[in-house]
Structure 1
Amino acid sequence: MSSPALARPRPVHRAADLLAAYLPGSFYFSSGRGSLLADGVHTTVQAPHGQRARAAADALIAADLAGVEEPLVVGALGFRPDAEASLVVPAVVRRAGVPERGGRASALDGSWSITPKPEPEVYAGSVRRALELIDADELSKVVLARCLELTAGAPVEVPALLARLVAADPAAHVFAADVSAPGDPAPRTLVGASPELLVSRHGSTVVANPLAGSLPRVADEAENRRRIDALLASAKDRAEHAHVAAQVADVLGGFCRDLVVPEEPTVLGTPTMWHLSTRITGQIADPAVSALALAEALHPTPAVCGVPVERARDTIAELEPEDRGYYSGLIGWTDLSGDGEWVVTIRSAEVCDRTVRLFAGAGVVAGSDPAAELAETSAKFRTLLRALGLEGAA
């Protein structure tokens, strides 16, 4: 009687090795749960808004039957329902642990020109217009974003930019995905370091961590403690945050049992910002509901759009001169069992040859101040600008 074949051990990779192996065209994703690098395309997943989770599930089953080892669907979805989407089953996926702290990355060299779109005073005027709509009871909240378009003297080194984002905050959700579309003059990459988990599913456990209500982080720790206390005490910021947490809890309540929603927010810190944060957990009621299905149901939350959603989305289209593209959409992965992790594509940029387009937004509610919202967007730009060596440019 022959002995049974031994199971082939899974290859062991270091997080630093995956990051070093990244090349434009790959899909990279790291978070507090680990990191992955995906290469090649086994299947492109194409489906209209609202049907992508079903199409992804079908593609995963087909890939499994075709012999793809532990297949995943990876990619990104844009902000609007009719926006671009980039979802694929990659040919090869490598996994590793969480990136180590203290990593180093080389500097990005070169000269830059920077064009704000719109000009800061125009953005402040849009905030004032949004406040008029709120005063007229047409809106409770709307998130307005602005864009910086940066042009370098030479093509931007995306691997170096990605490595600098990981080194700056290994605990963040750091990502890079090819989002090239017909007509692009060169390959286009979505890259960023998001603090906001839209939703994850691991086994039966579902987690969402909406953020809303923010203040810039500074170098002085005593001032940071004051800002944390100010955020927790701010009626305006707590009301803005409550809109988001309530909507996320309401949506997840339709899919989960034993939903736990903390009564009070906490404060989450990144290298550049402080955010009011609520970590919502539950147990999935139907194992057939994947992480991507949950993400589709949740998007867009009031953290990136507003209340009510349709009126806020129309206001964004009216008042923002630049189409958001993938900014404030979602990026992540889902596997054959339905597990996965999807994050909101904030603190992100789209890189194409010598051009970098980055966005930052602020939530406008009753009591918002246009100058303060403008300053908040400037602070949020710092994550990408710092990685580009341009922190003072916001």
Structure 2
Amino acid sequence: MGDGAEPAAAGRAAFAPALPFALASAGQTLVGRGCLDHVTAGPVPPGEQVRSLLAGTVAGPRLIVGALPFDTGAPAHLYRPAEATFSAGRACFAAAFSPPALVKAPEGSAPRWQVRAEPSLTAYRYAVAEALARLARAEEGLRKIVLSRSLRLVADRPVDAAALLRALAEDTSVTAFCVPLEGGAPGRALVGATPELLVSRRGTAIASRPLAGSARRLPETGADRAAGEALMASQKDLREHGEVVAAILDQLAPHCVELYAPDQPELAATASMWHLRTSIAGRLRDASLSALDLALLLHPTPAVCGTPRLPAARAIAELEGYERGFYAGALGWCDAAGDGDWHVAIRCAEIAGREARLYAGAGIVPGSDPVAEGEETSAKFAALLSALGIDEDGQPLVEDRA
């Protein structure tokens, strides 16, 4: 990238996304098409590159979109789209990802899938047990380690990322997203439906809505309500949630003149999961801090990494056995004024050709149970698997016709 005077020049027009960027929530949707400039890897921090790129922009949208990887040492994937459209609700999402013409599907037309757990559920439980042993020894002051596992799915045809995104977006309690990625098979993208806001900025007003502590939703109303109530009463989950909130408040406090969080979390629901959620609000001391700057400051939170951050990240690298990539990173947008939204990249899959790699994690704290944590990851896979129409073994879901 030379001397840094033109931070985006080396990446200009080097990325041609096959799919639109999309961030669709009940309140607002952003769709970005094409690529004018691409932030490149190098010694200049991403926040500085983006400020320089947007300050010099004379044509096209004055915003960047993209994703931050889980590993803070890996390159961010940020680019300026050629077109960007905002809408209230999901109007522009429906236009960008409209369903195909309603034609009766021929018999036997559903994709066939092969599924391999990486690591296996048994290996994941062993990793949780080892994490608990490290917590018990308080190695490097560890108090929490977030361990994930993945499912590698291979279909007999290219995966339809747009169809998957449309299915995920049916749950209006989450933010559905599509982030086209570089390299790999054509149409490579990170697709998902996240319930967690890392940070939002409008002027000097900021917000964060972290999640930690989860329980599977149940089909029977009474049992489902009881599962939510049990989560709200779980000391283990409340402890885990408190670690996340405290870390975010500690990171934001030096940069805010006002900062507020309630004493207790609230119960939040998606179509498949109950979560503990806290709504944090603040006002910035330094208006030059952009939404991207704040996302880089907060990421990764204890909700996806653990505490303390660096020892937890080292433990994850040793125990998980695979690279997370953009899973448990962050995705979003930031404009020339510094406003933007960044969400935690959970409940997602990386799509590339005929493959889809799904991810799910659980926070391990003293009192965690390896079997229960494995079941939690299975519950978190449910949103993606249901959208694909299969179970964790790759078998078609059977509709309840009662």
Same fold, judged at TM 0.5 (above): yes
Moved more, 71-80 or 185-194: 185-194
Paired residues for 1:316-335 under 5 Å: 316-335=316-335
Q: Output one character per residue of 1:28-57: Cα deviation in whole Å (capped at 9) or x when no partner.
A: 111233111111211111245881112111
For residues 27-42 of structure 1, the aligned pairs below 5 Å read 27-42=21-36
- Between the aligned partners of 2:311 and 2:113, the Cα distance in structure 1 is 37
Partner of 2:378: 378
Q: What's the CA shift string for 1:219-251, capped at 9, x where partnerless?
A: 111112111211111110000000000001111
Residue 156 (structure 1) aligns with: 159
Q: Deviations over 1:154-203 (max 9, x none)?
A: 00111111111112x1341111011123xx24331011000000000012
Shift of 1:122: 0.5
1:170 equivalent in alignment to 2:172:
yes
Within-5 A mapping of 1:202-221: 202-221=202-221
Is the CA contact 2:115–2:392 (under 8 Å) kept in the aligned structure 1? no
CA distance in 2, matches of 1:105, 1:170: 17
Cross-structure match for 2:88: 97
* Residue 378 to residue 353, structure 1, CA distance change in 2 (3 Å): same
> Secondary structure in 2 aligned to 1:36?
strand
Structure 1, unaligned runs of 5 or more: 1-22
One-letter amino acid matched to 2:291 = A
Distance 2:371 2:43 in 1: 36
2:41–2:76 contact (8 Å) kept in structure 1? no
Of the structure 1 ranges 23-32 and 152-161, higher mean CA displacement relative to structure 2 is found in 23-32
Q: State whether residues 41 and 75 of structure 2, in contact with CA within 8 Å, keep that contact through their aligned partners in structure 1.
A: no
Give the length in aligned residue pairs.
364
Partner of 1:358, secondary structure, is: strand
Q: Per the alignment, in what secondary structure is the counterpart of residue 380 of structure 1?
A: helix
- Distance in 2, matches of 1:84 and 1:349, equals 19
1:94-150 residue CA offsets vs partner (Å, 9 max, x unmatched): 1222127xx996899210000000111110000000000000011100000001000
- What's the TM-score, normalizing by structure 2? 0.87
Other-structure match for 1:6: none
Rounded Cα–Cα distance in structure 2 between residues aligned with 1:177 and 1:307 = 28
Aligned mate of 1:71, from 38, 62, 65: 62
SS of the residue 2:331 aligns to: strand
1:13 — aligned with what? none
> Are positions 1:53 and 2:32 aligned together?
no
In 2, Cα distance between equivalents of 1:383 and 1:189? 17
Partner of 2:79: 88
1 CA distance for matches of 2:240 and 2:84?
39
- Match for residue 111 of structure 2? 110
What is the one-letter code of the residue matched to 2:90? P
Aligned residues with identical type, % of pairs: 41
User: Do the aligned residues in 2 keep the contact of 1:77 with 1:329 (CA within 8 Å)?
Assistant: yes
TM-aligned CA deviation for residue 84 of structure 1: 4.1
> C-alpha separation between the residues in 2 aligned to 1:171 and 1:71?
29
Structure 2 letter corresponding to 1:46: T
Over 3 Å counting, the alpha-carbon distance change for 1:242 and 1:252 in structure 2 is same
Counterpart of 2:265?
Answer: 265
Q: Which runs of 5+ in 2 are unaligned?
A: 1-16, 395-402
What amino acid does structure 1 have at the position aligned with 2:88? G
Question: Is the contact made by 1:49 and 1:81 (CA closer than 8 Å) also made in structure 2?
Answer: no
Deviation of residue 289 (structure 1)? 0.5
User: Counterpart of 1:319 in 2: which secondary structure?
Assistant: helix
Could you give the per-residue CA deviations for residues 44-81 of structure 1, whole angstroms, max 9, x where no partner exists? Answer: 11245881112111111112xx222x411100011002
Taking structure 1 as the reference length, the TM-score comes to 0.89
* Pair 1:296-2:323 in alignment: no
Determine helix, strand or coil for the equivalent of 2:386: helix
Once the two structures are superposed, what CA deviation does each residue of 1:358-377 show, in whole Å capped at 9, x if it has no partner?
11000000000000000000
Alpha-carbon distance in 1 for matches of 2:26, 2:249: 23
Cα distance change of structure 1 residues 302 and 387 upon mapping to structure 2, 3 Å threshold: same
Is the aligned partner of 1:236 residue 2:236? Answer: yes
Distance between the aligned counterparts of 2:279 and 2:388, measured in 1? 31
Q: Which residue of 1 aligns with 2:124?
A: 123
Whichever residue aligns with residue 71 of structure 1, its letter is R
| Paired residues of 2:200 and 2:339 also in contact (CA < 8 A) | yes
**Separation of aligned partners in 1, 2:259 and 2:27:** 22
- Tell me, in whole angstroms, the C-alpha distance in 2 between the residues paired with 1:48 and 1:299: 19
RMSD (Å), alpha carbons: 1.8
The SS at the match of 1:254 is helix
- Is residue 173–residue 270 contact of structure 2 (8 Å, CA) maintained in 1? no
C-alpha distance in structure 2 between counterparts of 1:353 and 1:392, whole Å: 20
CA distance, structure 1, for counterparts of residue 75 and residue 122 of structure 2: 30
Corresponding residue of 2:3:
none
